[in-house]
Amino acid sequence: MTTAATKPNLFDMNRADCEALVMSLGVKAFHGRNLFKWIHKHGVIDFDAMTDLSRSLRETLRETVDMRLPRIIESHPSADGTIKWVMALHDGQRIETVFIPEGKRSTICVSSQVGCALECAFCATARQGFNRNLAVSEIIGQVWHAARQLGRPPTNVVMMGMGEPLANFEAVVKAMEIMQDDLAYMLARQRVTLSTSGIVPNIYRLREVSEVALAVSLHAPNNALRDQLVPINRKYPLEELLPACKAYVGRDKRRKVTWEYVMLDGINDSLAHAKQLIRLLEGIPSKLNLIPFNPFDGSHFGVSPPERIDSFRQRLTGAGIFAMTRKTRGDEIAAACGQLVGRVDDRTRRTTVA
């Protein structure tokens, strides 16, 4: 007998999987497409409401498969319209997902892991340690819940929440495929952005299977400083990272790499750093997001003064690099960039080591 815990989860399945499932049950593939559409486009998780599926198929599905999602257990609205949702997973872990409104644009910042193993020095998630990768259902479930909360699908999804997306490659790629499916959330490839700290082999892998927008957590213009701020740089230094990013956008002049650069007072924010950055990015189609550091408990960094950030940005734009200062959103509810923490049973034991 198949128990709820061992039944296949429909939220782990893309359209092709749903088609294969119903065909294995002896019905035609288009019923799988209808099933997929009910779940993701219409947000229906009650088999009885899927009225274009036969009663016998609905009964069989009820017996053989399940629909398991994260649960929203907390909702934290901000004065600027940002909302942070805390979601509970089946094993007691918690992740955080953020909705960021901007006019007609609605962006969902989605987590890919419980915690993060990459130990970036300025990130609150890194302080929590790491427990595990999220399943497809736990990634796409965040988008499903957001669409239900908002009454419509988001216009944009950024894989910039808790975790390193390219360290959970297969599940993230499959979830992004569902986001872009016309029978689901209908997001164009440029409306889905994957942010990575720089796992170089998987940037090349991503290029082979996806065309989503690429953002890279750069944060330093040289290896010595980036080794301290983004430790994965010791394994994949800039001379390996930059060619991979340039190859990802290829010859398509419409595409750019988005570089994320957190502005840390006295650390990486001088005009000398700006000049190094200009030389570093020469020849790569680029957009640079300057992010004022968002403090969190226990951090020892300070945010660069606004006038220094503006001077830094002007130096970049003067050299022909498109650069903008990202507006801080949701910082009073700890929903801003680098502040997501969730609840992580740390398998790395990082949080228990003084």
Whether 96 sits among the annotated catalytic residues: the reply is yes
315 and 209, same domain (yes or no): yes
- The pair of three-digit structure tokens given for residue 187, joined into one six-digit string: 């997001």
Q: What is the DSSP string of 224-293?
A: HHHHHHSGGGGTS-HHHHHHHHHHHHTT-TT--EEEEEEEBTTTS-SHHHHHHHHHHTTTS-EEEEEEE-
* Residue 4 forms part of a structural domain: no
* Alpha-carbon distance values, 6 to 3, 9, 105, 108, 159 (Å): 5, 9, 39, 30, 28
Which CATH number belongs to the domain containing residue 232 in this structure?
3.20.20.70
Whether 337 sits among the annotated catalytic residues: the reply is yes
Give the residue carrying structure tokens 């969902």.
108
214 and 266, same domain (yes or no): yes
Which CATH number belongs to the domain containing residue 40 in this structure?
1.10.150.530
25 and 139, same domain (yes or no): no
18 and 114, same domain (yes or no): no
145 and 291, same domain (yes or no): yes
Share of the chain above pLDDT 70, in %: 91
**CA–CA separation, 322 vs 24, rounded Å?**
52
Which entry of 18, 109, 123, 337 is annotated as an active-site residue? 337
36 and 147, same domain (yes or no): no
Which entry of 19, 96, 164, 260 is annotated as an active-site residue? 96
Confidence of residue 128 (pLDDT cuts 50, 70, 90): confident
110 and 189, same domain (yes or no): yes
**CA–CA separation, 324 vs 288, rounded Å?**
6
41 and 134, same domain (yes or no): no
- What is the longest distance spanned by two Cα atoms in the chain? 70
> What digits encode the pLDDT tens for the residues 255-292?
999 999 999 999 999 999 999 999 999 999 999 999 99
- Higher-pLDDT residue of 3 and 176 is 176
Give the residue carrying structure tokens 């050299």.
319
Which class for 225: exposed (0-12), middle (13-18), buried (19 or more C-beta within 10 A)? middle
- Express the helix, strand and coil content of the chain in percent, nearest 5 each: 40, 20, 40
* Residue 235 forms part of a structural domain: yes
252 and 174, same domain (yes or no): yes
Q: What is the domain count for the chain?
A: 2
29 and 164, same domain (yes or no): no
9: DSSP letter? B
* Residue 25 forms part of a structural domain: yes
Question: What is the β-pairing status of strands 130-133 and 94-102?
Answer: unpaired
> What digits encode the pLDDT tens for the residues 27-74?
999 999 999 999 999 999 999 999 999 999 999 999 999 999 999 999
Among 64, 85, 100, residue at a domain's last position: 64
276 and 141, same domain (yes or no): yes
55 and 112, same domain (yes or no): no
Structural domain boundaries enclosing 51: 10-64
- Read off the pLDDT of each residue in 233-248 and give the average, rounded to a whole number: 97
